[in-house]
Chains A and B, each alone.
Chain A
Amino acid sequence: MNLSDAAKHPSGGRNRLPRQAPEIVYNSGPVYLDNAATSFPKPPSVIQAVEESIELYGGNPGRGSHALALRAAEEVYACREAAARLFGFSHPERVIFTLNTTHALNLVLKGLLRPGDRAVCSDMEHNAVFRPLYRLVSDGVITLDIFDTYATRRDRTDDMILSSLERHLQPGTRLLVCAHASNICPLTLPLARMGQLCHQRGVLFVVDGAQSAGVLDIDMEAMHIDALCVPGHKGLMGPMGCGMLLLSPDILPDTLLEGGNGLDSLSGEMALDLPERYEAGTLPLPAIAGLRAGIEYVQSVTPAAIREKETRLCTLARDGLLATPGVRVFLPHLSGSTLLFTVDGYDSEEVAGYLDSAPTDTGMSGSRRTVRPGQSICVRPGFHCAALGHRTLGTPEGGAVRASFGWFNTKEDAEALVRRIRALPGRY
């Protein structure tokens, strides 16, 4: 099924759209390998949910009592319930909508950490974690410890990571924050064991699920996660425009934003009611409606199937690049959906620019000849907002190229990447 045709499915309601993944064929257009930045394309049911929220019931959720406002509120709440179910969380009323993962992380870090507190993060963090912490350190509010993930060691084990973490959980440590999965390489952290350790030590456990939500299994309660920060537009396949903070009971961070939320309008204080306490201003209903559809889509195909497919395609590309002279693949001993590499003699920007150009690309895939006139390949060069991670990996000055696979990629996409890199004139 062609994506554009599917999106215009004439049968109407969302329930009539295929819940299973349609076989999307890229007839033209780029090969999209930037799913760590945002997933693309989106399932047809997501597009339809966004359209319906605008066309059919676009009231302001939680404001007023007319039918469209109530219908909108019902949709927003249904999304909270869907997210809570996906992440093993029994408190949908504590699913807070944010602008994105960065907003969620800022809210929880700046809202929880107090003067004199000690925070801990890993040596692979994205700037969404590192920069709020850096600001708090710069302002003299907290001290920060960084634990070693041993990312570059082939003999790395979960026990090594846990020992490293344990050494940094000292008296006065208030909070551990870390990414479940790196945004630049296939590294993941053992959340369940880390959460257990934090639980035993009375340390709050905050997880950045930007790269793992919808792909890796996350069970907040089983993993002792106190705050889970996730995007809507990556693995959960929703549109850009909203993320979520899932906040366990008994935690009440200070607010980051204040304003109208439909409650206690005559008071100057933000009401204590969750989630509205942290949702000042109008919610992005179309993004939330699309996110709900995205979550339902992910649940229908299952994160396990998504993970298996993405890993299989990424491994295919990785093995092809490893067999290519002049190409260095970072952490080639790990498997996942994200591939980081450099090409000798080329800056990462040059490689990405070359891939983004639109040659006539022909090749063989099994017994089938593929012809993709004008097809470019979308990847991301540079440092990917991950200073800590790139320092840990020892990325060269020119940065590295990241190719990140998604559910809608194909074997041909992985092969096209390898073929195009092999066609680069050698500079080494």
Chain B
Amino acid sequence: MGNVRSGRSTGPEGGGGTFIQYPGTCTAVIGSMTLTLRAQSILADASIRTSVTKISSAKTHHGCAYGLIYPCIQSGNVSAVLSDAGIAIRQVLGEG
């Protein structure tokens, strides 16, 4: 498998689609899968590792959407890098 991981599992055996927010992690809700992968690529270029997760409709009020999970300690950097790239974060889920 590649470097994309769901928020609740890292392998095909994981199953289910429940969004889980682990302690110490934040999730930036981006939107489409493509834009989320674009954001992940830009963050990787800035040495910020993230994983992709699907956000439940109930969480976003926007229907289906995807987001990036990252350590909350990186929140400032994530916001700054994505803002510079013109990618809007719809919502941040998690600590703080």
Nearest chain-A residue to B13 (Cβ)? A67
Bound: A274/B86 CA distance, A: 14
- Chain A residues closer than 8 Å to B63, beta-carbon distance: 263-267
Residues of B within 8 A of A (CB): 1-7, 9-12, 14-15, 17, 31-35, 37-38, 41, 52-54, 57, 62-66
CB < 8 Å: which of B4, B12, B64 contacts A263? Answer: B64
CB neighbours (8 Å) of A68 from chain B are 12
Residue A271 CB within 8 A of the other chain: yes
Contact between B31 and A273 (Cβ–Cβ < 8 Å)? yes
Q: A233 in the interface, Cβ–Cβ < 8 Å?
A: no
A77 to B40, CA, bound (A): 11
- Of all chain B residues, the one with the shortest Cβ separation from A70 is B4
Q: In the complex, how many residues of chain A place their beta carbon closer than 8 angstroms to a beta carbon of chain B?
A: 30
Q: Does A80 contact B (CB under 8 A)?
A: yes
A65 and B54 form a contact (CB under 8 A)? yes
Q: Is the CB of B9 within 8 A of A67?
A: yes
Identity of the chain B residue whose Cβ is nearest the Cβ of A61 in the assembled complex: B33
* Cβ–Cβ < 8 Å partners of A81 in chain B: 41
| A70:B64 contact, CB within 8 angstroms | no
Q: A71-B1, A93-B38 are in contact. Are A66 and B32 (CB under 8 A)?
A: no
Q: Which of A64, A77, A81, A274: most chain B CB closer than 10 A? A: A77
Please tell me if the beta carbons of B41 and A65 are within 8 angstroms of each other in the complex. Answer: no
Residues of A near B64 (CB, < 8 A) are: 262-265
21 A-B pairs (CB sep. < 8 Å): A62-B33, A64-B54, A65-B66, A67-B1, A67-B5, A67-B6, A67-B12, A77-B34, A77-B38, A77-B41, A80-B34, A81-B41, A92-B41, A262-B32, A263-B31, A263-B64, A264-B62, A267-B63, A271-B32, A273-B35, A276-B34
A275 partner residues in chain B, CB cutoff 8 A: 34
A73 to B66 alpha-carbon distance, docked (Å) = 12
Q: Is A74 an interface residue (CB 8 A)?
A: yes
Rounded to whole angstroms, the CA-CA distance of A66 and B12 in the bound complex is 7
Main secondary structure of the interface of B (DSSP, over half): loop
Contact B32 A273 (CB under 8 A): yes
Q: How many A-B residue pairs have CB under 8 A?
A: 84
Cα distance, A92 to B33, chains bound together (Å): 13
Q: A160: shortest Cβ distance to chain B, in Å?
A: 41
Bound: A48/B57 CA distance, A: 37
Q: Is the CB of B34 within 8 A of A62?
A: yes
Hey, which chain A residues are within 8 Å of B11, CB to CB? 67
Report the separation of the CA atoms of residues A352 and B63 in the bound assembly, to the nearest whole angstrom: 55
User: How far apart are B20's CB and chain A's nearest CB, in angstroms?
Assistant: 11
Chain B residue with minimal CB distance to A96? B34
Q: Determine the chain B residues whose CB is within 8 A of the CB of A93 once the complex forms.
A: 34-35, 38
Smallest CB separation, A282 vs chain B (Å): 13
Q: Which residues of B contact A73 (CB under 8 A)?
A: 4, 33-34, 37, 52
Q: Mark A215-254, 1 if CB is under 8 A from B, else 0.
A: 0000000000000000000000000000000000000000
Q: When each residue 253-288 of chain A gets 1 if its CB lies under 8 Å from chain B and 0 otherwise, what string results?
A: 000000000111111000101111000000000000
Q: Identify the 5 closest CB pairs spanning chains A and B, nearest first.
A: A65-B54, A77-B37, A264-B63, A67-B12, A62-B33
Inter-chain contact B35/A262, CB cutoff 8 Å: no
Cross-chain contact A74 with B17 (CB below 8 angstroms): no
Smallest CB–CB gap between B24 and chain A, Å?
A: 21
Within A48-90, the residues touching B (CB, 8 Å) are 57, 61-62, 64-68, 70-71, 73-77, 80-81
Question: What A residues does B53 contact at CB under 8 A?
Answer: 65
- Bound Cα distance A94, B14 (Å): 32
Given the complex of chains A and B, what is the CA–CA distance between A61 and B52 in angstroms? 13
Question: Nearest-CB distance from B29 to chain A (Å)?
Answer: 13
